[in-house]
Amino acid sequence: MTDDSDFHEQVRDAFPEIADIESESLREQVTEAWVLGLERGGWRDVFDIPYAWNIHEVTNVEHVRGVTRIAVKSAEEQREFHGADPDLDVIRAACLLHDVGKCYEYVDHVDDETLREPDPTYATEEIPHSLSGYALAHEVGCPLAVQRAIPHFLGEVPKRTLEAELVKSANSASSNAITQSAMGITLQEWVETYSQTQ
For residue 2, pLDDT beyond 80: no
pLDDT at 4 (0 to 100): 59
Give the torsion sign (CA, 79, 16, 8, 3).
Answer: positive
pLDDT in tens, 75-114: 999 999 999 999 999 999 999 999 999 999 999 999 999 9
The predicted pLDDT at position 52 comes to 94
Q: What are 122-133's pLDDT values in tens digits? A: 999 898 898 999
Asked if pLDDT for residue 196 goes beyond 60, the answer is no
Sign of CA dihedral 47, 51, 54, 56: negative
Q: Which residues contact 88 (CB under 8 A, 6 or more apart)?
A: 22, 72, 75
Query: With pLDDT > 70 as the criterion, what percentage of the chain qualifies?
Result: 93
Give residue 155's pLDDT: 61
pLDDT band, residue 195 (cuts 50/70/90): confident
Residues 130 and 119: their CA atoms lie apart, in Å, by 19
This prediction's pTM = 0.94
Phi, psi of 11 (to 5 degrees): -65, -45
**Crossing angle (nearest 10°) for helices 187-194 and 162-183:** 80
In the predicted model, what is the mean pLDDT of residues 111-124? 94
Distances (CA, A) of 127 to 11, 101, 104, 132, 145: 23, 9, 9, 6, 22
Confidence of residue 160 (pLDDT cuts 50, 70, 90): confident
The mean of the pLDDT values for the chain is: 92
* Half-sphere exposure at residue 123, Cβ-oriented, CA atoms within 13 angstroms: 21
Res 151: pLDDT? 86
Q: How many Cα atoms within 13 Å fall on the side-chain side of residue 141?
A: 7
53-56-61-65 Cα dihedral, nearest 10 degrees? -100
Q: What is the DSSP string of 120-147?
A: TTT--SSS-HHHHHHHHHHHTT--HHHH
Closest alpha carbon to 99 in 131, 133, 127 = 133
**pLDDT score for 197:** 53
CA distance 98 to 87: 16
- In the chain the domains, ranked by start, together with CATH numbers, are 4-194 (1.10.3210)
Q: Does pLDDT of 3 surpass 90?
A: no
Q: How many helices (H) and strands (E) does the chain have?
A: 9, 2
157 vs 194, residue with greater confidence = 194
Does residue 156 have a pLDDT over 70?
no
